[in-house]
C-alpha cells in the first residue's frame, strides 16, 4: 500500500517538548502562533515555512485544512469513510492529506478502497481483516465497523457474500474493497428511517469526529500503532446521538482552532507622529501590490519616512521621502494591478506612481474622499487595502497646513512622520 512520507522535512517542523493540550494554536495572516497556556507571555510565532508542529504526544499538520478544501466535501467524506470501514478509526491528518493528493491525481474510489483493504490486512491483529478470512466473515466485520452491528441478518449476509463470489465484471459483483463503499452508501440511505436511521446517524457522527480530529485539529499520533489503536478507541466512543465523549477521548481542548478557516487578511499598523493607522490589505484581489507593500513593511522601510504630500479634499501621500525630503532607494517597480474590483473610495490605500503605468515602488496614498475617477484615470491607480482603524488620524493629517518646499508642492509645514509600519497580525 502506498502511503505518506515518513516525516516532513526538518526545516518545516517546529518542535515542542510539552503535550499538545498545553498550547492553543491561532492562525495569523502569514503563519501560526502557539500560546503556552501555563506560561504568561509564552507566545511563539512560527515561520511561514514551519507547517508541522511536533509535540510530545501528537504532531499537527497545519496545511490539512487548506488541502481539505481542494476536493469536494463528498469526496473528503468518502475518504474518511474508508478509515471508518476498514479500521473503524478516525483518520490521521498526514494520511488523509496523502489520500487527498491521490484523489486529485486521479485515483478512483474503487482503487483507493482496495488500497485500504490491503493495509487493513497488514494490521490484521488490530483490524480483524485477513487475506484468508471467508467472505462471510469479511461481511461481518463490515457490519460491525460501518453499521455498528455485531449481528448480521441472514438475508444481508447471504446477499453480500453472493456479491463477493460473483465473477468480476458481472452485474452486482463486488471486490472486498468496493463492497465497503457499497455498504457505506446503503447505510446513508437509512437516514430518517424509524427503525434503522440510527445507522446513518452513527456513520455521520463518526465522519464528524474524524473531520474534527484530522481536518479541524490536524492531528497525528506519533506511530502507526498509536494511530490505529487510539483512533479506534475514539471512533468506538461515538454514538448515534453523541460525539462529545469521542472528542473528550482525543484529549485536545482547543475549540477555537479550525484549520479550515482561511488566513485573516494581513493588517499593518502604521505609527505616525499624529497617531496610529491600521490598514487591512486585500491580497486576494491585489496580490502583487499587497506583497510589494508588505515587502517594504517587513524590512522596516517605512520607519523615518513622512507624508510629503497632503491635499485636504483629495488624499494624503507618503512612504517615499525622509524628513529632509530626500527620496529613499526602493526595490524595482511593480506591475500595475487595476480592474480588480477595488475602487479609490474614502479610506482606501493605493499605490502612487509616475505617468508610467508600471512604475509604483514604495509610495502610497490614502484617499480622504471618494476618488473613483482614479480607477481609470491615466490607466488607473491600484487600490490594495483600506483603513480599518485610525481614519480620525487620517483626517487630522489631511487638515495640516501645507506649503511648497523646493520643487515639491502640498508639503506639510510641520512634518508628519511615519515612525514605523509593522504587521499587526
Instruction: Give the model's pLDDT for residue 332.
Output: 96
Tell me the DSSP string of 152-175.
--HHHHHHHHHHHHSPTTSTT---
Q: Please check the confidence at residue 142 and state whether its pLDDT lies above 70.
A: yes
Q: What is the mean pLDDT of residues 320-347?
A: 97
Q: Please check the confidence at residue 36 and state whether its pLDDT lies above 80.
A: yes
pLDDT, one tens digit per residue, over 38-66 is 877 699 999 989 999 999 999 999 999 99
CA distance 302 to 313: 25
Of the ranges 100-109, 187-196, 319-328, 395-404, which one carries the lowest mean pLDDT score?
A: 187-196
| Residue ranges of domains in the chain | 10-250, 267-423
Direct distance between the N- and C-terminal alpha carbons of the chain, in angstroms, rounded to an integer: 42
pLDDT, one tens digit per residue, over 338-369 is 999 999 999 999 999 999 999 999 999 999 99
Read off the C-alpha cell for 382: 491600484
- Give the containing element (helix H, strand E) for 278: strand 275-281
Q: What share of the chain is helix, strand, coil (3-state, %, to 5)?
A: 40, 20, 40
**Please, which pLDDT band fits residue 211 given cuts at 50, 70 and 90?**
very high
pTM over 0.85: no
Q: Please check the confidence at residue 196 and state whether its pLDDT lies above 60.
A: yes
Instruction: Give the model's pLDDT for residue 110.
Output: 86
Q: Please check the confidence at residue 9 and state whether its pLDDT lies above 70.
A: no
Instruction: Give the model's pLDDT for residue 187.
Output: 86
- CATH match for 267-423 among 2.40.100.10, 2.60.120.10, 2.30.110.10, 2.40.160.40: 2.40.100.10
Q: Please check the confidence at residue 292 and state whether its pLDDT lies above 60.
A: yes
Instruction: Give the model's pLDDT for residue 301.
Output: 97
CA distance 7 to 116: 21
Classified as helix, coil or strand, 141 is helix
Q: Please check the confidence at residue 90 and state whether its pLDDT lies above 70.
A: yes
- Which one, of 412, 385, 389, 409, lies nearest residue 305 by Cα? 412
Instruction: Give the model's pLDDT for residue 266.
Output: 96
Residue 118's alpha-carbon distances to 168, 230, 395, in angstroms, are 18, 20, 68
Read off the C-alpha cell for 214: 484530522
Mean pLDDT for the chain overall: 93
Classified as helix, coil or strand, 32 is strand
Instruction: Give the model's pLDDT for residue 2.
Output: 37
Instruction: Give the model's pLDDT for residue 5.
Output: 40
**Please, which pLDDT band fits residue 10 given cuts at 50, 70 and 90?**
low
Q: What is the mean pLDDT of residues 94-116?
A: 94
pLDDT, one tens digit per residue, over 369-419 is 999 999 999 999 999 999 999 999 999 999 999 999 999 999 999 999 999
**Please, which pLDDT band fits residue 1 given cuts at 50, 70 and 90?**
very low
- Give the containing element (helix H, strand E) for 412: strand 408-412
Count of Cβ atoms closer than 10 Å to residue 143 Cβ: 21
pLDDT, one tens digit per residue, over 213-267 is 999 999 999 998 899 999 999 999 999 999 999 999 999 999 999 999 999 999 9
Read off the C-alpha cell for 195: 427503525
Amino acid at each position: 500500500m502506498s502511503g505518506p512520507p515518513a516525516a516532513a522535512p526538518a526545516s518545516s517542523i517546529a518542535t515542542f517538548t510539552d503535550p499538545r493540550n498545553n498550547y492553543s494554536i491561532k492562525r495569523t495572516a502569514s503563519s501560526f502562533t502557539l500560546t503556552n497556556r501555563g506560561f504568561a507571555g509564552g507566545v511563539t510565532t512560527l515561520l511561514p515555512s514551519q507547517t508541522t508542529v511536533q509535540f510530545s504526544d501528537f504532531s499537527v499538520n497545519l496545511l490539512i485544512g487548506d488541502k481539505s478544501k481542494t476536493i469536494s466535501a463528498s469526496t473528503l467524506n468518502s475518504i474518511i469513510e474508508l478509515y471508518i470501514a476498514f479500521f473503524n478509526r478516525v483518520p490521521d491528518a498526514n494520511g488523509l492529506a496523502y489520500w487527498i493528493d491521490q484523489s486529485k491525481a486521479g485515483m478512483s474510489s474503487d482503487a483507493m478502497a482496495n488500497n485500504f483493504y490491503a493495509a487493513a490486512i497488514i494490521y490484521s491483529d488490530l483490524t480483524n481483516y485477513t487475506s484468508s478470512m471467508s467472505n462471510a466473515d469479511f461481511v461481518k466485520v463490515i457490519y460491525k465497523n460501518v453499521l455498528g452491528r455485531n449481528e448480521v441478518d441472514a438475508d444481508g449476509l447471504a446477499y453480500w457474500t453472493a456479491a463477493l463470489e460473483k465473477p468480476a465484471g458481472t452485474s452486482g459483483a463486488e471486490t472486498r474493497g468496493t463492497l465497503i463503499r457499497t455498504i457505506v452508501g446503503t447505510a446513508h440511505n437509512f437516514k430518517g428511517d424509524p427503525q434503522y436511521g440510527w445507522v446513518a446517524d452513527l456513520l455521520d457522527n463518526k465522519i464528524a469526529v474524524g473531520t474534527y480530529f484530522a481536518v479541524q485539529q490536524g492531528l497525528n499520533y506519533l506511530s502507526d500503532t498509536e494511530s490505529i489503536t487510539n483512533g479506534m478507541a475514539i471512533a468506538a466512543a461515538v454514538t448515534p446521538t453523541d460525539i462529545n465523549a469521542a472528542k473528550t477521548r482525543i484529549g485536545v481542548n482547543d475549540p477555537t482552532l479550525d484549520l479550515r478557516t482561511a488566513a485573516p487578511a494581513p493588517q499593518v499598523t502604521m505609527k505616525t507622529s499624529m497617531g496610529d493607522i491600521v490598514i487591512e490589505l486585500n491580497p486576494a484581489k491585489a496580490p502583487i501590490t499587497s506583497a510589494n507593500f508588505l515587502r517594504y513593511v517587513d524590512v522596516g522601510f517605512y520607519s523615518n519616512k513622512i507624508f510629503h504630500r497632503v491635499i485636504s479634499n483629495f488624499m494624503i501621500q507618503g512612504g517615499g521621502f525622509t524628513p529632509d525630503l530626500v527620496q529613499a532607494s526602493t526595490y524595482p517597480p511593480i506591475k500595475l494591478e487595476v480592474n480588480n474590483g477595488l475602487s479609490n473610495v474614502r479610506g482606501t490605500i493605493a499605490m502612487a506612481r509616475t505617468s508610467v503605468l508600471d512604475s509604483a515602488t514604495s509610495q502610497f496614498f490614502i484617499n480622504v474622499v471618494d476618488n473613483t475617477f482614479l480607477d481609470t484615470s491615466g490607466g488607473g491607480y491600484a487600490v490594495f487595502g483600506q483603513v480599518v482603524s485610525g481614519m480620525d488620524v487620517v483626517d487630522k493629517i489631511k487638515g495640516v497646513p501645507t506649503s511648497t518646499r523646493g520643487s515639491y508642492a502640498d508639503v506639510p509645514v510641520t512634518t508628519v512622520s511615519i515612525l514605523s509600519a509593522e504587521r499587526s497580525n
